Chains A and B, each alone.
Chain A
């Protein structure tokens, strides 16, 4: 018997495990985001410079962090998929892309809504904003490339290579405020310096980030389950069709 156990064990075992994890992640997301919103709106003090407009930080920074983080994770799965020729890795990359694109869109939108009252403009073509916009185009490119190729294996490989090439943009976004003179403020939190904000503000932001992280687990795992089922259906149709063809030939 020639059975591909590796393939069988990976997606077939993953499907129910993911199903069990989703409710827990959802509860964690709800609790973390709830606590973050409470701290952000009722405990964190008013900013002396930006007044109440600064509270957009509690949704803007977590969305922006997730947009970059998810891109790196997507590129990692794409790289593993290319290196090991592993189908489930490509499927993970496929499951992450739409959520990453959504967070990139939200980071840009909340950034515009924050920019108007603090800078007096919705948009400027500065390094941080432009490189984040390019990130959105990269996500859209990865997804469009996949849907534009009919052959699943070629679609997997092409979008994985595209995702890997685009990963150079992530450090550009991250360091843009240091490398160039931008209108965007510098990093609020960094590994090398003390945070430039009140402790409750920082805590609210971190709780929101963890909440968005748990939320990402919920939607990415759910989408992964959808992709598994959809591909299972495609392969079962292919088997049926090829079975019929072989019967006709013989």
Chain B
């Protein structure tokens, strides 16, 4: 462990500006992808149960 305080950890030896966005954006992308897929799955299930609602193809 090379950190003596939280602020030292966050500063990352002066490179915090580069280190934290790298991890932050990656985490955001992964979380967003999972949430988007959950929504897509729910929409696909709903459309299968009641096709007429979304498509307008059926009478």
Interface size on A, residues (CB 8 A): 41
A-B contact number at CB 8 A:
92
Residue contacts A-B, CB under 8 angstroms, 29 given: A45-B2, A46-B13, A51-B13, A51-B14, A51-B15, A52-B12, A53-B13, A53-B15, A55-B19, A59-B22, A59-B23, A99-B33, A105-B29, A106-B26, A110-B26, A114-B18, A116-B18, A219-B33, A219-B34, A219-B37, A230-B44, A230-B47, A232-B48, A237-B51, A237-B55, A237-B57, A240-B57, A240-B58, A241-B57
Interface size on B, residues (CB 8 A): 32
| Among B14, B22, B29, B51, residue most surrounded by chain A Cβ atoms (within 10 Å) | B22
Whether the pair B26, A63 counts as a contact (CB closer than 8 A) is: yes
- Residues of A with C-beta under 8 A to B59: 244
Partner of A117, one of B3, B18, B44: B18
Contact mask for chain A residues 85-100; partner B; CB cutoff 8 A; 1 contact, 0 none: 0000000000000110
Q: Which of B18-34 contact A (CB under 8 A)?
A: 18-19, 21-23, 25-26, 29-30, 33-34
Partner of A233, one of B2, B13, B21, B47: B47
- Residues of A with C-beta under 8 A to B38: 222
Closest residue to B41 on the A side, CB-wise?
A226
Known: A56-B19, A59-B23, A113-B18. A226 touches B57 (CB 8 A): no
Partner of A114, one of B22, B37, B47: B22
A99 to B34, CA, bound (A): 10
Q: Which of A220-245 contact B (CB under 8 A)?
A: 222-223, 225-226, 229-230, 232-233, 236-237, 240-241, 244
Known: A53-B19, A113-B21, A117-B18. A222 touches B41 (CB 8 A): yes
- Residues of B with C-beta under 8 A to A237: 51, 55, 57-58
Q: Which of B45-59 contact A (CB under 8 A)?
A: 45, 47-48, 51, 55, 57-59
Whether the pair B48, A233 counts as a contact (CB closer than 8 A) is: yes
Whether the pair A56, B22 counts as a contact (CB closer than 8 A) is: yes
Whether the pair B12, A55 counts as a contact (CB closer than 8 A) is: yes
Whether the pair B26, A59 counts as a contact (CB closer than 8 A) is: yes
A225 to B16, CA, bound (A): 39
- Residues of A with C-beta under 8 A to B3: 42
- Residues of A with C-beta under 8 A to B44: 226, 229-230, 233
B1 within 8 Å of A (CB atoms): yes
A230 to B47, CA, bound (A): 8
A106 to B55, CA, bound (A): 35
Partner of B2, one of A46, A56, A59: A46
- Residues of A with C-beta under 8 A to B26: 59, 63, 106, 110
Closest residue to B37 on the A side, CB-wise?
A222
- Residues of A with C-beta under 8 A to B37: 219, 222-223, 226
Whether the pair A226, B40 counts as a contact (CB closer than 8 A) is: yes
